[in-house]
Structure 1
């Protein structure tokens, strides 16, 4: 990761692809009049998993982080193991992730604009951009995001998924992990497990001229940002101990 400009482009493109396809499958499943309307939770789970797979494939150059929680987990893990931290590369990765998430969500809006405009329920309009709880309990919602993201980042660290070690196999493995998290732990909050995945599209929802869009639910927005960050950091702390112990 020597060229910071290429790292930035790699993370931006990968995260944009993630949000275009991930937001797209939600839109296809829940918006009125789409071909996939009523496709259900498993369609969304598999769609998000394949969106992750695609995002990983197109961002191999930067290590395919495409998630600030993963980036933070790698930083903390590196500090725990006494490694040299490429601070510049991680910083531009974070900026690229946020920009890419916004771009991906905006492109998804362009694709589904007519269906978004036709949808009467403002909650569904927001739901294709960002996550929200089925039962609003900020404490438990936060803990759910911490646990789910811990599973993701801990598993990624077990693969040593960093830098040029990314491969088609590891990308597929992470995609399957995301599908598993969605199917198992995604029910309460919609499993953001990625601060950029939620915040970038939420900003897009607030800015874009969406007909009848309603609130962007900023009162909840801290949960899918700080919950995943804490989960990623905990994975970075515990991985060197628990993975070595398991070995």
Structure 2
């Protein structure tokens, strides 16, 4: 596939992934949303369907990596050329930023209603209720629409959780999901991957919110930091390295396991 195929497929596919995935997070977060307080099962199913849609759109063009961890896993396994890795990751990050911006556009009114609601942000000048004690480095009241955060902050555990969950994802892709060329997802592989993401969310997503994708977390976190949202709080940069490092480790380890055990 050409460089333009990789760029177009990964940008569009990842943008759709983040639009639908971030969209379900927004839907259950905002008080003025019809899906308000829909719960974790709704979020997990929403992300599964986001992967299904974004990957089907991109599979025939770029192979539908949509995730730097998948790209690294495929490069270690040998299906993707290392020379293509930077373009894949750049395209995935670009798509993630576009998708997060589209979530803001779609939920524009809900963002402002939520962030100006006294029950959410308190009186003017008060710390947000989502940040215990008003800590400046904690997540803001709508950061969960964009990025992940742990329930218990423990760097080793948080990295381990993201690493293990990503190993499951990438191993499933490498063993069950690749197309005939071995460079990306095939039609059946897209469905399998979406179901695996749903399973990971339901089973392993509780501790950290299962980023399992550096672009999915870092791209939208950049958008959260850049958007002129009132009372939005911190973008929690002290945690931002975890959902990047953990999934990248997981992708590389999964590629190595595949080569040892399955190749």
Range class of TM-score, shorter chain: over 0.9
2:200 paired residue number? 181
TM-score (ref. length: structure 2): 0.87
- 1:70/1:187 CA distance change after superposition, 3 Å: same
2:251 paired residue number? 232
Output the CA distance in 1 between the equivalents of 2:147 and 2:218: 7
Output the CA distance in 2 between the equivalents of 1:88 and 1:4: 11
Moved more, 159-168 or 209-218: 159-168
Tell me, yes or no, if structure 1 residue 152 matches structure 2 residue 152.
no
Q: Residues 67-82 of structure 1: matches in 2 within 5 Å? A: 67-78=67-78
1:92 paired residue number? 87
1:40 paired residue number? 39
Q: Residues 109-124 of structure 1: matches in 2 within 5 Å? A: 109-119=104-114, 120-121=120-121, 123-124=140-141
1:49 aligned counterpart, secondary structure? helix
Gaps of 5+ in 1: none
Q: Residue 99 of structure 2 is aligned with which of 88, 99, 104?
A: 104
Output the CA distance in 1 between the equivalents of 2:177 and 2:145: 32
- 1:237/1:165 CA distance change after superposition, 3 Å: closer
1:189 aligned counterpart, secondary structure? coil
Q: Residue 170 of structure 1 is aligned with which of 189, 210, 216?
A: 189
Output the CA distance in 2 between the equivalents of 1:171 and 1:56: 6
Q: Residues 207-226 of structure 1: matches in 2 within 5 Å? A: 207-226=226-245
2:262 aligned counterpart, secondary structure? helix
1:220 aligned counterpart, secondary structure? coil
Q: Residue 204 of structure 1 is aligned with which of 206, 223, 235?
A: 223
1:4–1:88 CA contact under 8 A, matched in 2: no
Tell me, yes or no, if structure 1 residue 64 matches structure 2 residue 83.
no
Q: How many aligned positions are there?
A: 238
1:28 paired residue number? 27
Higher helix proportion, which one? Answer: 1
TM-score (ref. length: structure 1): 0.92
1:215 aligned counterpart, secondary structure? coil
Cα RMSD of the aligned pairs, angstroms, is 1.5
2:3 paired residue number? 4
